[in-house]
Amino acid sequence: MAKIELKDVSLTFNIRQQKRVTLKEYLVQGLFRRSSVAVHALVDMNLNIRDGDRVGVIGHNGAGKSTLLKMLAGIYPPTAGTRTVEGSICSLFDISLGFEPEANGWDNITYRAYLQGESPASLKKKIDGIAEFTELGEFLNVPVRHYSAGMLMRLAFSIATAVEPQIMLVDEVLAVGDLAFQKKAQARMKDLMSSARMLVLVAHDFSTIRAMCNRVIWMQHGGVMMDGPTDEVVDAYVQSVTGPTQTPHVGAIATAA
C-alpha cells in the first residue's frame, strides 16, 4: 500500500542575495549582513493521495508545484507540519540531472538503477529491456555528454519506469521527447498506473493532464486553490486565466503554454 499524506506542511527557505560567498567576504561584511529574503514556497498544505490516484498539478509559474514534488520526494524537508510518504518513490525531475557525463549510456543505466535501489542481480534481468525501450541503439556506447536533451530524457524515463515504482513523481519532462516517444511514454505510464500505483504529475500541457490524470490540484501561492476531478479543475483554471466570457479552447492554450 502506497500513501502520501501531508498535514499542515509549510516550507520556507531563505535566499541570500548572493548564492555563495567567500569566507573572506563573510568575515568582512558579516557584521553588516543584509537580511535574507524568506520564500514561502508551501503554506499550510494538506493533501491526501491514495492508491490509484493520478494527480495532475497545475498553476502559475512559481506557485510551488515543483517544490511540492521535491518535498514529496524527500529532497526538501518540510519546515513545519508532517509529511508521510509510504512506498517506493521514483522521481523524474530535471532530466539532465544525475547523469555522469563521461560515462556511456549503459553505465548510466547502471548508476541510475542502483540509485533507485536495484541490485546487480535484479538489474541484469532488466537492463536489456531498459536499453530496448530507449531505442538509442548504438548511442548507448557513447558518453552521455554527447546526448541531446531528448535522448537524455529517453534514457531517464526508461530507467525510471523500469523499476516499477509505487509512487511516480514527474515534473513536466515528458514534453522533451519527440512525438513518437511521447506516445510511447504515455502508454507506459498508463501501463504503470493500471497496477494501482500513484502518479503526481506537474505539467503545463493540459492535454497530457487530461489524458493521464483523474484528479487535479490547482496550486497558487504555495497552497491548494482547488482540488477535484480533472475536467472541473482544469476548466476552472483555464477560465481564471482567459476570463469568464470566453469559452476556452483547451488545445490551443496547451500549445501556447
Contact 60, 225 (CB under 8 A): no
> Which stretch in 112-120, 145-153, 217-225, 232-240 sits in contact with other proteins by CB under 8 A?
112-120
CB nearer other proteins, residue 15 or residue 175: 15
Measured in degrees and rounded to the nearest 5, phi and psi for residue 190 equal -60, -40
| Separation between Cα atoms, residue 244 and residue 84, nearest integer Å | 38
CB nearer other proteins, residue 38 or residue 211: 38
> With binding defined as CB under 8 A, does residue 157 bind other proteins?
no
Q: Which residues contact 127 (CB under 8 A, 6 or more apart)?
A: 106, 109, 110, 113
> With binding defined as CB under 8 A, does residue 256 bind other proteins?
no
Residues 50-79 that bind other proteins (CB under 8 A): 70, 73-77
Contact 41, 223 (CB under 8 A): no
> With binding defined as CB under 8 A, does residue 30 bind other proteins?
no
Applying CB under 8 A, among 100, 182, 210, 248 the residue interacting with other proteins is 100
CB nearer other proteins, residue 79 or residue 240: 79
| Separation between Cα atoms, residue 67 and residue 70, nearest integer Å | 5
CA-wise closest residue to 174 among 193, 195, 149, 192: 149
Applying CB under 8 A, among 8, 28, 30, 102 the residue interacting with other proteins is 102
* Radius of gyration of the chain measured on its C-alpha atoms: 20
Applying CB under 8 A, among 5, 7, 10, 21 the residue interacting with other proteins is 21
| Separation between Cα atoms, residue 200 and residue 191, nearest integer Å | 15
Applying CB under 8 A, among 17, 20, 31, 35 the residue interacting with other proteins is 20
Binding residues for other proteins (CB under 8 A): 13-15, 19-24, 26, 70, 73-77, 91, 93-94, 97-100, 102-103, 107, 110-111, 114-120
